Structure 1
Amino acid sequence: MAEVKSAIDLNLKNPELFRDKAYVNGQWIEAKSGKRFDIIDPGSDQKFASCPDMAAEDVDDAVQAAQEAFQVYRKFTPRARADLLAKFDALIREHKDDLATILVYETGKPLVEAYGEIEYAASFTRWFTGEAERVQGTTFPAAIPGRRIFTIKQPLGVTAALVPWNFPIVMVLRKASAALAAGCTMVAKPSPETPLSALTLAYLAEKAGYPKGVFNVMPTTLANTPALSEALCKHPLVKKVSFTGSTRVGKILSAHCADSLKKLTLELGGNCPFLVFDDANLEQACDALIPLKFRHAGQACITANRVYVQKGIYDKFANLLAEKTRQIRVGHGIDKTTTMGPLTVPAGVDKVAGQVEDAKKNGGIVLTGGNRIASNNGYFFEPTIITNASQSMQVASEETFGPLLALFPFDTEEEAVKAANDTSMGLASYCFTKNIDRIWRLFENLEAGMIGLNSGNSSAAESPFGGIKDSGFGKESGKDVAINEYLITKTGTLTLEGQY
């Protein structure tokens, strides 16, 4: 493969991992239009690669290839599928250094976070290696004599994965691992900002021995994303779509899938509340909140967006949080001393700046941060904490997706729960208290698909991941539930002629 020339040398240990073409039916190809688009380093605003700009006209070839591959791959034994996933997993871990480098330049996240993402992502390949051999049917006692009732599980068919830019390796592997374990084939559309990591995964899947057409990757621009995604959703051979992204887009995709009644998994917006009570361990709460909020510069769907602090410890908690926040070192992700990198897109900086100004106009006090950072032309913003927050501020109702944290005071548990639930979203909620009765009440009363109880980390391969309300439906990861998203259940009823 010809080397791509740019202003940035990735200096990969294995240059073969760098892939800048689409991967369809086991071939590295260009878009039919011949058009390509640039990939930009958020830490310097410099081009470092380009990719084919696939469009709606390219979709049918990819889906047809995946359908043809499915006819073969669906017959692989569970052990064979598990063996392939195990090889894929081993290759991902073997090449984690190069994967991390590509991830840093695509997303801007610090190198240490890039390694963390790869380890988390590989937990899905490892988990579903085991799940592949644990897909089981059932038998049921019949109410009518001489009857036997039983079920089998079978793979759905061709699936589509539409993934965002904030955790591009995790989002591809969380979907693809379940699909491949189940016996499905997949067409993945990465975000325009982060196609290279997905293409590297396609290369490693090929090296692991997956047959051509089983896993396909179609990079595209933001301009072509709606039409390409619609073509995938409406293609009659695509049997399931899994999307991670905004609620607005999720509703559009749901409408696209409705006519053909496609199976759909939606992991959508967050606006997650974080509750701290008077009896909480404040060090524990702060140490959980800092990485939860400022990991990848606050660009995560499950990040804490609204922090509600009981009035008795409000000032103490705010000062402790500000002290820890000031220790964050902002810089280019490839610098090993960096603990928070740039935002991935320039619009993200503008949104945070706008929310800060709105908060100040509505009585908010900037305790630390609050400003853009001019550094190497990158998309940087200071880690920011605002006190005296109120429901009139934009930050109370809009998901920030940036390094801005607003502290809202409250008096009672009932008041805090009401405020926490006062959103159309329901992805994750977090609460910190040492009152066990309150823990159980909050677990039952907070309206979210995942609840962190004295914990800021609800994500694990063995834990079902997904939200309620406008945060979507369906589960990814976890025992049984995730792989069932890629399976159909077929019921058999047998009537015997004689009795015994």
Structure 2
Amino acid sequence: MTGTTLPGTDALRERALAALGAAGVTPQYGEGLTARTPITGEVLFDLHATTASEADEAIAAAAGAFRTWRTTPAPARGDLVRRLGELLRAHRSELADLVTIEAGKIRSEALGEIQEMIDICDFAVGLSRQLYGRTIASERPGHRLAESWHPLGVAGVISAFNFPAAVWSWNTALALVCGDTVVWKPSEATPLISSACSGLLDRAAQDVGAPREVHRLLLAGREVGEQLVGDSRVALISATGSTRMGREVGPRVAARFGRSLLELGGNNASIVTPSADLELALSGIVFAAAGTAGQRCTTLRRLIVHRDIADEVVERLVVAYRKLPIGDPFAEGTLVGPLITAEAAERMRDALNRAEAEGGKVLVGGGRRLAEDAPSAAYAEPAIVRMPEQTAVVRAETFAPILYVLTYRDFDEAIALNNAVPQGLSSSVFTGDQQEAERFLAADGSDCGISNVNIGTSGAEIGGAFGGEKETGGGRESGSDAWRSYMRRATNTVNYSSRLTLAQNVSFL
């Protein structure tokens, strides 16, 4: 463990209250929901959980506000998001405190998450003047054929603990400028940062004269999440979580003919070729595999190395892993903070046991580091496991810092290994060979939604659409044309002639 002691729970509680106060938020104390910190594994506050009737009221309020918000000019809707971005900038440090306290992220990653929120607000403000349709050539004289885009309705956002603020902002900033209203059900593990974000958006709405009901927050458990998913007043459900969760959400939304945007599991791989710059590759691999204590959806979980360089790459990785500072995420120099719960540490141990049973060898890490002053916390040593082949445990996602190392003989085999898992979120290749790089990005290369060259699998920018294929769900959030998920398309035909001309030369009457 880095440092001598962890901060005490009382000190963390005071820091959380100070951050909430700066955002203008007072915790809603009560029953039904517990705010904990993975730094010590202990309870910070007992909070009031949103009831079913309160959730129904929130959805109704958002649906009512939509009728006004959809006709507000898009640039005026952008003013709300611009103000939110200003408030995020003003409270970046306090919000990062809450991310670290509730999710266990090291300081630089927590600050990076808030910066990501600021960036998407900037993107969305520009987008508010660029919700472009198109003009299409009509086959009929005196006719104009066009497409236009209109607000969709209430967007329900269900987010996970690992990016407790950024994923909300991806959805909310875009949904608001698109003319939708938002109902947010965050992870039960992160009610404090969720309350702060919601409070700042409420303040932004007041500052610009927008209806407060354009955004509502539901702090509750699974039951209220299911209520949101099943409510026909919610036009879109954007859900981030496990593939198991997506299997439940997708069919329920489809059954009521709603839309779903799913960001689910990832089992991401990097290929390292003989021509790779190994210094560059090692830096990218260690961050992607051990950053956020292995709890990103884009975390590197499989390393596919050419057999001629595998021993050297593994040896150097083991040396780097043994030096990783683990401990208090607030402490300067710490690179690996805690797992979110003790149960996550147990799942990591179970996966390592299965890997060994399937022929793997743990080369480094895998132990749980117990802090004398926080026995309930789960600090785990990132692990590297050499595997003989891509076995069942390798094909399954374990949300913990485990890196499985596989070898390949030729590049086609490497791509096949990359693609031979159910998930399809992120991937990368480290190579100095342009043909290999282009082959990896080609239609018969990586089958993932994110494919990188000479960087790791994590750390996406907001300008590009984020999401994956196969069991990752197929959804796209954040940049590029992801805004279209939050709008409905209308095809328009305008006849400005004095004759009624039918398409396809049909004659009638």
**TM-score, length of structure 2 as denominator length:** 0.90
Which consecutive unaligned segments of at least 5 residues does structure 2 have? 1-8, 500-509
8 Å Cα contact 2:232/2:258 also seen in 1: no
Shift of 1:135: 0.6
The equivalent position to 1:319 in structure 2, one of 315, 319, 327, is 315
Please list, as runs of the form range in 1=range in 2, the aligned pairs for 1:282-293 lying within 5 A after superposition: 282-293=278-289
Write the distance in 1 (CA, Å) between the matches of 2:266 and 2:158. Answer: 18
The equivalent position to 2:428 in structure 1, one of 422, 427, 430, is 430
Look up the match of 1:15. Answer: 21
Cα separation, partners in 2 of 1:437 and 1:407, compared to 1, 3 Å: same
Look up the match of 2:238. Answer: 242
The equivalent position to 2:400 in structure 1, one of 395, 399, 402, is 402
Write the distance in 2 (CA, Å) between the matches of 1:341 and 1:18. Answer: 28
Please list, as runs of the form range in 1=range in 2, the aligned pairs for 1:44-443 lying within 5 A after superposition: 44-209=40-205, 210-221=210-221, 225=222, 227-375=223-371, 376-377=374-375, 378-392=377-391, 394=393, 396-443=394-441
8 Å Cα contact 1:151/1:489 also seen in 2: yes
8 Å Cα contact 1:6/1:48 also seen in 2: no
Cα separation, partners in 2 of 1:415 and 1:20, compared to 1, 3 Å: farther
8 Å Cα contact 1:230/1:256 also seen in 2: no
The equivalent position to 2:36 in structure 1, one of 15, 33, 40, is 40
Cα separation, partners in 2 of 1:273 and 1:459, compared to 1, 3 Å: same
Shift of 1:235: 1.3
Shift of 1:243: 0.7
Write the distance in 1 (CA, Å) between the matches of 2:51 and 2:403. Answer: 38
Shift of 1:431: 1.0
1:15-54 Cα offsets, whole Å, 9 max, x none, are 24274657xxxxxxx8xxx733211111111111233222
**Alignment-mate amino acid for residue 112 of structure 1:** S
Write the distance in 2 (CA, Å) between the matches of 1:149 and 1:21. Answer: 53
**Alignment-mate amino acid for residue 109 of structure 2:** E
Shift of 1:400: 1.8
Write the distance in 2 (CA, Å) between the matches of 1:393 and 1:181. Answer: 44
**Alignment-mate amino acid for residue 121 of structure 1:** M
1:146-181 Cα offsets, whole Å, 9 max, x none, are 222223211101110000000111111011111011
Does the residue aligned with 1:236 lie in a helix, a strand or coil? Answer: coil
Shift of 1:388: 4.1
Does the residue aligned with 1:331 lie in a helix, a strand or coil? Answer: coil
Write the distance in 2 (CA, Å) between the matches of 1:279 and 1:160. Answer: 46
1:196-246 Cα offsets, whole Å, 9 max, x none, are 11111111111112421111110113xxx1x32222122121111101111
Look up the match of 2:504. Answer: none
**Alignment-mate amino acid for residue 407 of structure 2:** P
Shift of 1:144: 0.9
Does the residue aligned with 2:156 lie in a helix, a strand or coil? Answer: strand
Does the residue aligned with 2:281 lie in a helix, a strand or coil? Answer: helix
1:394-442 Cα offsets, whole Å, 9 max, x none, are 2x12112111112112211122122221111111111111111111111
Cα separation, partners in 2 of 1:37 and 1:474, compared to 1, 3 Å: closer
Shift of 1:86: 1.1
Look up the match of 2:502. Answer: none
8 Å Cα contact 2:157/2:171 also seen in 1: yes
Look up the match of 1:463. Answer: 464
Look up the match of 1:26. Answer: none
Does the residue aligned with 2:337 lie in a helix, a strand or coil? Answer: coil
Does the residue aligned with 1:307 lie in a helix, a strand or coil? Answer: strand
8 Å Cα contact 1:364/1:387 also seen in 2: yes
Look up the match of 1:491. Answer: 491
Shift of 1:291: 1.1
8 Å Cα contact 2:347/2:398 also seen in 1: yes
Work out the number of aligned pairs and report it: 480
8 Å Cα contact 1:112/1:336 also seen in 2: no
1:237-275 Cα offsets, whole Å, 9 max, x none, are 111110111111112111111122112111110111111
Please identify runs of 4+ aligned residues in structure 1 that moved more than 6 A. Answer: 4-7
8 Å Cα contact 1:18/1:196 also seen in 2: no
Does the residue aligned with 2:302 lie in a helix, a strand or coil? Answer: strand
Matched residues, percent identical?
28
Does the residue aligned with 2:283 lie in a helix, a strand or coil? Answer: helix
Write the distance in 1 (CA, Å) between the matches of 2:246 and 2:360. Answer: 32
**TM-score, length of structure 1 as denominator length:** 0.92
8 Å Cα contact 2:19/2:98 also seen in 1: no
Shift of 1:7: 7.3
Write the distance in 2 (CA, Å) between the matches of 1:309 and 1:18. Answer: 51
8 Å Cα contact 2:12/2:101 also seen in 1: no
Shift of 1:333: 1.5
1:428-471 Cα offsets, whole Å, 9 max, x none, are 11111111111111112111111011111461111111111111
Does the residue aligned with 2:14 lie in a helix, a strand or coil? Answer: coil
Write the distance in 1 (CA, Å) between the matches of 2:238 and 2:167. Answer: 10
Write the distance in 2 (CA, Å) between the matches of 1:56 and 1:233. Answer: 13
Shift of 1:344: 0.7
Write the distance in 1 (CA, Å) between the matches of 2:20 and 2:64. Answer: 32
Does the residue aligned with 1:485 lie in a helix, a strand or coil? Answer: helix
